[in-house]
């Protein structure tokens, strides 16, 4: 449930610290502008080299082919190098306009290609795109390094930065200047030439390893299958899950059987409902041992090397650890602050988790069974207890949350809060037949965005749920850019004529991701690099966390939570059960998440460059935090894509940090009315529309009138001391 963003090269320090690789400086006898023009002239049929002939300038998906990416990337990089060189060669004294803004306005072609390529490598990849990514990653990082390590350019930026207090800049301009200067410093601009060369090598190695990690994990996830040929082994599973498994089996060449995989929509219900304990153990271990099988897809050496190289890079740049360099630009600021947050929440969460284990063990004993609760028993027995304690089975919620009705609920909520309306279009370009597209209008019936939804699991899509932008909102340099936003999820496909039915938790994810989408669609900023979700990682989840709260409100449920066959509104008795059960199993949920958070921080607060034994390092980390053996971290090291092939290294804590803001913020709506016009306007004006144009905590205080407290979150999770 994360946001995926890629910024232009001049703002690429985040990319350089996570996904990037680099290569040596490129030199050529011809100018970079000529290089770009030569590429464009030889590839005149390339859709990236002309305006898209599509409504609203949407990507021309039908005509973009894999062979178009590399020429477009090469031309875009060359163009931006020429633009940067023009800034350097400008004989005029460095100013905010001719240096900082000029950099911000550069790189349009590269940004255009990135917007399509990295969206598709996540949502609809194929072997061709994966090969291209291995070549493009080093190219982009090298180009980013060529910007951030260019001393002549840095001297111009520094000259503007040194006079910032006398420039009469707006708040957004001041932040753009500060962020630009700091990106150079963090990118190695103050290093000498030998150190810069070393940094390039480190970036190259880290980037290549990151790509390998992601490819290995995808291969491992797709390779595992639990094939069942005895119908008795399906006992306990809901019929829709069985039907999906049969469909998967046919697709994988196992006609007449049932196949379960380590994709979340398959493994989670199996662990929750399958009565066969031996099979639960097999699929659980298949899930948690991904890329940890000492085969060609093993990630242990890769991730350990990445962590060591990141530590080395951080110290080269003058920081104590990788976590220190990452957190400097986050609202948390230091790893010590994050560890302190963990220490505040961990004891209560762990005590609750231990109580949950005891309750499950008591149930096992009462059934006359002799085994001890293990990690693969947790989902199964916790569901039994929840059913018994609250007479609540989450499968009972499915008939009331079809995908279609839940979308109606999301759109209803957004309309009541912010006045936006959604008009579906079936004739707009799409990258996959399953994608749906809407025009988004504001309260004045002005078109403000295009929204795309991609909801069903497929092998070409990585796991999870996220929001991204094919084009970001901005109003800069005489151009008004309307955002094109996408939500990508992984729901099981519907069977036959049945609609896609969601559990309450799955429907809640839809609300969450649309919260991210609102952040992108309601953005109203001048500069592209400050648009929408271009905010610190530990702040970006905040708007989406807030949005989840409307899902359970009776007024909202009455609008959309209706039985897909009868039209009956979800019974209040079932709603009461959902609310009562909402605090159930929060010990487990909080502990498994925080264990992954602590593991992330431990990997990235290393102060030496030694390549650790990954298995031993992880075991020691989990032991030091006191994690009980009945719980595995939400992500173990070898499949922790957030931190080893995504942008969350030293930042997985961000979800908890944002949950604190989200719980505190929603209290403002509870106090004033969940659809209070004034509160909603304050949230839109201070949070959703501002993107990264202001200090995020200043924006939060402007909305809330105070700093966020931790108590609302602990209360929501049922973790406050009785």
* CA neighbor of 112 nearest in space, from 66, 75, 142, 65: 75
**pLDDT computed for residue 22 by the predictor:** 29
- The answer to whether 178 and 529 are in contact (CB under 8 A) is no
Least confident segment among 313-327, 460-474, 574-588: 574-588
**pLDDT computed for residue 30 by the predictor:** 59
pLDDT digits (tens, 9 = 90+) for 584-617: 899 999 999 999 999 999 999 999 999 999 999 9
User: How many Cβ atoms from other residues are within 10 Å of residue 492's Cβ?
Assistant: 23
pLDDT digits (tens, 9 = 90+) for 96-142: 999 999 999 999 999 999 999 999 999 999 999 999 998 998 899 88
Whether the predicted pLDDT of 262 surpasses 60: yes
Q: Answer yes or no: CATH 1.10.1370.40 is held by domain 2-148+150-186.
A: yes
Distances (CA, A) of 17 to 13, 21, 384, 649: 6, 9, 44, 9
417-421 long-range Cβ contacts below 8 angstroms, 24+ apart: 417/550, 417/675, 417/680, 417/683, 417/684, 418/442, 418/443, 418/518, 418/522, 418/680, 418/684, 418/688, 419/443, 420/448, 420/521, 420/522, 421/445
Percent of the chain clearing pLDDT 70 (strictly above): 96
Tell me the mean pLDDT in the region 362-381.
Answer: 96
- More confident position, 387 or 260: 260
**pLDDT computed for residue 721 by the predictor:** 60
Q: Which residues pair with 297 in a beta bridge?
A: none
**pLDDT computed for residue 24 by the predictor:** 27
Token pair listed for 699: 């924006």
* CA neighbor of 266 nearest in space, from 287, 245, 280, 290: 245
* CA neighbor of 326 nearest in space, from 653, 95, 699, 577: 653
pLDDT digits (tens, 9 = 90+) for 288-306: 999 999 999 999 999 999 9
Strands 466-471 and 484-491: antiparallel
Token pair listed for 529: 């690099």
Tell me the mean pLDDT in the region 662-678.
Answer: 95
**pLDDT computed for residue 145 by the predictor:** 86
pLDDT digits (tens, 9 = 90+) for 242-254: 999 999 999 999 9
| Whole-number Å distance between alpha carbons of 263 and 243 | 16
pTM comes to: 0.82
541 is catalytic: no
Whether the predicted pLDDT of 7 surpasses 70: no
42 pLDDT band (50/70/90 cuts)? very high
Whether the predicted pLDDT of 8 surpasses 80: no
pLDDT digits (tens, 9 = 90+) for 447-465: 999 999 999 999 899 888 9
Percent of the chain clearing pLDDT 90 (strictly above): 83
pLDDT digits (tens, 9 = 90+) for 61-92: 999 999 999 999 999 999 999 999 999 999 99
| Whole-number Å distance between alpha carbons of 517 and 688 | 10
Q: Sketch the domain layout of the chain as residue ranges.
A: 2-148+150-186, 224-288
477 pLDDT band (50/70/90 cuts)? confident
Which one of 513, 526, 541, 618 is the catalytic residue?
A: 513
What's the Rg (C-alpha) of the chain? 25
| Whole-number Å distance between alpha carbons of 481 and 422 | 19
């Amino acid at each position: 449930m994360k946001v995926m963003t890629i910024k232009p090269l001049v703002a690429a320090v985040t990319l350089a610290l996570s996904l990037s690789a680099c290569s040596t400086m490129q030199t050529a006898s011809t100018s970079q502008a000529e290089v770009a023009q030569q590429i464009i002239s030889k590839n005149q049929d390339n859709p990236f080299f002309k305006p898209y002939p599509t409504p609203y300038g949407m990507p021309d998906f039908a005509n973009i082919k894999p062979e178009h990416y590399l020429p477009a990337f090469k031309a875009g990089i060359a163009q931006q190098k020429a633009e940067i060189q023009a800034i350097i060669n400008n004989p005029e004294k460095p100013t905010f306009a001719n240096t900082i803004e000029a950099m911000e306005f550069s790189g349009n072609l590269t940004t255009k290609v990135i917007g399509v390529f990295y969206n598709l490598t996540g949502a609809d990849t194929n072997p061709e795109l994966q090969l291209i990514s291995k070549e493009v990653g080093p190219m982009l990082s090298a180009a980013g390094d060529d910007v951030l390590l260019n001393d002549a350019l840095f001297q111009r930026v520094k000259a503007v930065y040194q006079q910032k207090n006398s420039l009469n800049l707006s708040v957004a301009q001041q932040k753009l200047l500060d962020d630009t200067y700091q990106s150079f410093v963090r990118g190695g601009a103050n290093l000498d030439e030998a150190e810069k060369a070393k940094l390039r090598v480190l970036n190259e190695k880290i980037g290549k390893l990151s790509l390998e990690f992601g490819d290995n994990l995808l291969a491992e996830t797709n390779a595992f299958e639990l094939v069942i040929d005895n119908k008795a082994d399906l006992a306990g599973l809901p019929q829709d899950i069985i039907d999906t498994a049969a469909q998967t089996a046919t697709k994988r060449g196992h006609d007449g059987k049932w196949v379960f995989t380590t994709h979340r929509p398959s493994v989670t219900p199996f662990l929750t409902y399958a009565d066969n304990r031996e099979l639960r153990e097999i699929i659980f271990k298949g899930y948690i041992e991904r890329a940890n099988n000492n085969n060609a897809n093993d990630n242990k050496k890769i991730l350990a090397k990445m962590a060591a190289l990141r530590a080395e890079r951080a110290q080269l740049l003058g920081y104590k650890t990788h976590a220190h360099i990452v957190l400097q630009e986050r609202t948390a600021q230091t790893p010590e602050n994050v560890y302190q947050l963990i220490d505040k929440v961990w004891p209560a969460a762990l005590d609750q988790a231990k109580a949950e284990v005891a309750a499950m063990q008591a149930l096992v004993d009462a059934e006359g069974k002799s085994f001890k609760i293990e990690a693969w028993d947790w989902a199964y027995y916790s569901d039994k207890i929840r059913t018994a304690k609250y007479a609540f089975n989450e499968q009972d919620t499915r008939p009331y949350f079809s995908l279609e009705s839940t979308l109606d609920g999301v759109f209803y909520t957004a309309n009541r809060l912010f006045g936006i309306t959604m008009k579906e279009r079936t004739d707009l370009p799409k990258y996959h037949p399953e994608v749906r597209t809407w025009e988004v209008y504001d309260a004045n019936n002005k078109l403000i965005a295009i929204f795309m939804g991609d909801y069903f699991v497929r092998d070409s899509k990585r796991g999870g749920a996220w929001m991204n932008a094919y084009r970001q909102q901005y109003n800069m340099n005489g151009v008004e850019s309307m955002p094109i936003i996408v939500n990508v999820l992984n729901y099981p496909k519907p069977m036959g004529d049945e609609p896609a039915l969601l559990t309450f938790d799955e429907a809640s994810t839809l609300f969450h991701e649309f919260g991210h989408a609102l952040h992108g669609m309601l953005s109203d900023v001048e500069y592209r690099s400050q648009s929408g979700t271009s905010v610190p990682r530990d702040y970006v989840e905040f708007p989406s966390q807030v949005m989840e709260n409307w899902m359970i409100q009776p007024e909202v449920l009455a609008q959309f939570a209706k039985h897909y066959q009868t039209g009956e509104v979800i019974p209040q008795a079932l709603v009461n059960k959902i609310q009562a059960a909402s605090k159930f199993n929060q010990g487990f949920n909080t502990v498994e998440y925080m264990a992954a958070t602590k593991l992330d921080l431990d990997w990235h607060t290393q102060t030496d460059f030694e390549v650790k034994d990954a298995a031993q390092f992880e075991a020691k980390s989990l032991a030091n935090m006191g994690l009980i053996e009945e719980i595995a971290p939400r992500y173990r090291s070898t499949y922790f894509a957030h931190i080893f092939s995504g942008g969350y290294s030293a930042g997985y804590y961000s979800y908890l940090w944002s949950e604190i803001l989200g719980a505190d913020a929603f209290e403002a709506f509870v106090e004033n009315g969940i659809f209070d016009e004034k509160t909603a306007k304050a949230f839109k004006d201070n949070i959703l529309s501002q993107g990264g144009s202001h200090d995020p905590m200043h924006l939060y205080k402007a909305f809330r009138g105070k700093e966020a407290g931790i108590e609302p979150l602990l209360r929501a999770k049922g973790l406050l001391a009785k």
